[in-house]
């Protein structure tokens, strides 16, 4: 075993015998006589695990435990309980202690318990390192074979080399940022910076200085002059992310700058001119925001020179497996993971699931699966519950289909029973028509010559979503 252990106990004989056992196992040991001293030691050098006496003079064991679990999440603590403190030990477990051992100390229990705790601590650290490494890389190429993504790539290739301003809209996680990056990458400004501003994250009172920069002493706290994002992006691209979350006041300021490409530092008098191409992005429906009085119409038209709408993942199910495979391959390549093989039933569940968090959710999902199941076969029952639910909710009578399946394919791969075939057809027909009528049931009923109520019943029978 290897690792750093801290023993917090006021009894010297206990510290002595624990140190003996642990050092024999090859561990580094530090000691503290009190809770206060223990916390101080943890503050300067975080151990891999702690042995902590329940009864201590001054700050008692439970209080020390509370401090540790609050400030050092995941650091395992093993409580040492004397006679009559077993109940307290149980209480400690509820408060997040990893385990407890009783006095007199049993050598075997000490060894087993520390081995478990160190293993836990190691796995946790590994997972954390993995997560930070995984999230730091940022590709610029878009994965996808669906018609929607192909078209998107075409449009990007056409608009990128121009100097047109672009407004990207789409649900969370559909790839707005990656699209902005790929426009930058393919533009004539690729060797100049892409400066991103998250409009939702900057407090109202700081946004001006953030965007336009400020002079020394312009406001309290402005100890030195600073350039704003507009200057930093000069010659390049300014990416205004989450533009729908900007306050009306800031919108007014921004509008003027966007029109004139000229501004002054906060607290300054000199007019600065820049050459900046703007790409804006939002997950809000800006026309709705305009109606609600939250977004300026003039700013909207100024930004929306070239609108790009990103489709949600659930409308391009063809891309789901491709994205999963792609993310898996890059994790295998980068981190040497062994690939996961998903069973047929798992694949069905993954394509049936609506992915409300879109590609971001899918990417996180793949990373999570690798942390748990690298190198293994994964069937549907090993997937998180939301996927099982998705497959249960999938209409049973409707044959799995893609927009490309022809009538012949349907017949060849379909049921032999006429009644079932008719039901399959009816379900597909109604689903398609409902889309065509944008979910308007009354209009659809009229168009296909059915009573509204019986149409409703049929939709329910076939489990077709009507929102």
Ligand X SMILES: Nc1ncnc2c1ncn2[C@@H]1O[C@H](COP(=O)(O)OP(=O)(O)OP(=O)(O)O)[C@@H](O)[C@H]1O
Q: Interface residues for ligand X in 346-365 (CB under 6 A)?
A: 359-360, 363
End-to-end CA distance of the chain: 58
Are residues 190 and 184 in contact, defined by beta-carbon separation less than 8 angstroms? Answer: yes
Are residues 235 and 192 in contact, defined by beta-carbon separation less than 8 angstroms? Answer: yes
Q: Is 76 helix (H, G, I), strand (E, B) or coil?
A: coil
Residue 30's binding partner out of ligand X, Mg ion, none, with CB under 5 to 8 Å set by partner kind: none
Spell out, one character per residue from 134 to 163, where the chain touches ligand X: x when CB under 6 A holds, - when not: -----x--xxx-------------------
Task: Burial-class residue 237 by CB neighbours within 10 Å (0-12, 13-18, 19+).
Answer: buried
Q: Does 99 bind Mg ion (CB under 5 A)?
A: no
Rounded Cα distance between 196 and 95, Å, is 42
Pick from 156, 178, 139, 160: nearest CA to 277: 160
Pick from 279, 317, 83, 112: nearest CA to 199: 279
Residue 62's binding partner out of Mg ion, ligand X, none, with CB under 5 to 8 Å set by partner kind: none
Q: Does 177 bind ligand X (CB under 6 A)?
A: yes
Task: State the nearest-atom distance from the C-beta of 138 to ligand X, in Å.
Answer: 6
Spell out, one character per residue from 263 to 302, where the chain touches ligand X: x when CB under 6 A holds, - when not: --------------------x-------------------
Rounded Cα distance between 304 and 308, Å, is 9
Binding-site size, Mg ion (CB under 5 A): 2
Q: Which of 113, 114, 174, 187 binds ligand X (CB under 6 A)?
A: 174
Residue 302's binding partner out of Mg ion, ligand X, none, with CB under 5 to 8 Å set by partner kind: none
Q: Which stretch binds ligand X (CB under 6 A): 66-74, 175-183, 347-355, 419-427?
A: 175-183
- Which parts of 160-305 fold into alpha helices (H)? 176-186, 204-212, 229-232, 248-260, 286-291, 297-303
Task: State the nearest-atom distance from the C-beta of 364 to ligand X, in Å.
Answer: 9
Q: Does 177 bind Mg ion (CB under 5 A)?
A: yes
Q: Does 289 bind Mg ion (CB under 5 A)?
A: no
Taking the C-alpha atoms of 105, 108, 110 and 115 in order, what is their torsion angle to the nearest 10 degrees?
180
Nearer to ligand X, 75 or 281 (CB): 281
For 266, which DSSP code? B
Q: Does 173 bind ligand X (CB under 6 A)?
A: yes
Nearer to ligand X, 312 or 395 (CB): 312
Q: Does 111 bind ligand X (CB under 6 A)?
A: no
Nearer to ligand X, 21 or 324 (CB): 324
DSSP string, 221-240: T--S-B--HHHHTTTSEEEE
Question: Contact residues for Mg ion (CB under 5 A)?
Answer: 176-177
Query: Which residues contact ligand X (rule: CB under 6 A)?
Result: 139, 142-144, 170, 172-178, 283, 359-360, 363
């Amino acid at each position: 075993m290897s690792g750093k252990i801290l023993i917090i106990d006021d009894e010297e004989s206990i510290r002595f015998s624990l140190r003996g056992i642990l050092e024999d196992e090859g561990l580094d040991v530090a000691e503290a006589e009190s809770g206060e001293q223990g916390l101080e030691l943890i503050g300067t050098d975080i151990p891999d695990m702690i042995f902590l006496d329940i009864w201590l003079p001054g700050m008692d064991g439970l209080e020390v435990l509370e401090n540790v679990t609050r400030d050092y999440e995941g650091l395992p603590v093993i409580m040492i309980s004397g006679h009559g403190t077993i109940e307290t030990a149980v209480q400690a477990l509820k408060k997040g202690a990893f385990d407890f051992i009783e006095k007199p100390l049993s050598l075997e229990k000490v060894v087993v318990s520390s081995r478990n705790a160190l293993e836990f601590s190691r796995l946790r650290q590994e997972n954390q390192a993995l997560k930070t490494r995984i999230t730091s890389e940022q590709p610029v190429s878009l994965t996808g074979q669906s018609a929607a993504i192909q078209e998107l790539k075409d449009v990007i290739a056409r608009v990128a080399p121009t100097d047109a301003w672009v407004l990207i809209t789409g649900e969370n996680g559909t790839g707005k940022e990656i699209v902005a990056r790929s426009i930058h990458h393919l533009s004539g400004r690729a060797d100049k910076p892409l400066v991103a501003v998250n409009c939702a994250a900057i407090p109202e009172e700081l946004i001006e200085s953030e965007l336009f920069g400020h002079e020394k002493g312009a406001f309290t706290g402005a100890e030195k002059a600073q350039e704003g994002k507009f200057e930093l992006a000069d010659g390049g691209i300014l990416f205004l992310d989450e533009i729908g979350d900007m306050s009306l006041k800031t919108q007014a300021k921004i509008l003027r700058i966007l029109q004139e490409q000229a501004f002054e530092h906060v607290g300054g008098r000199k007019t600065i001119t820049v050459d900046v191409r703007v790409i804006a992005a939002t997950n809000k429906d800006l026309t709705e925001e305009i109606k609600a009085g939250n977004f300026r119409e003039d700013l909207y038209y100024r930004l929306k020179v070239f609108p790009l709408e990103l489709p949600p993942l659930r409308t391009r199910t063809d891309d789901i497996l491709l994205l999963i495979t792609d993310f898996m391959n890059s994790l295998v390549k980068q981190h040497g993971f062994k690939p996961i093989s998903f069973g047929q039933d798992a694949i069905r569940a993954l394509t049936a699931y609506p992915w409300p968090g879109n590609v971001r959710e899918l990417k996180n999902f793949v990373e999570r699966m690798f942390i748990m199941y690298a190198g293994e076969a994964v069937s549907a029952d090993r997937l998180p519950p939301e996927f099982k639910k998705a497959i249960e909710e999938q209409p049973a009578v409707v044959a799995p289909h893609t927009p490309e399946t022809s009538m012949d394919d349907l017949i060849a791969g379909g049921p032999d029973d006429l009644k079932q075939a008719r039901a399959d057809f009816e379900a597909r027909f109604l689903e398609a028509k409902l889309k065509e009528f944008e979910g308007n049931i009354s209009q659809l009923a009229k168009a296909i010559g059915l009573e509204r109520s019986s149409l409703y019943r049929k939709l329910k029978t076939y489990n077709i979503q009507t929102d």
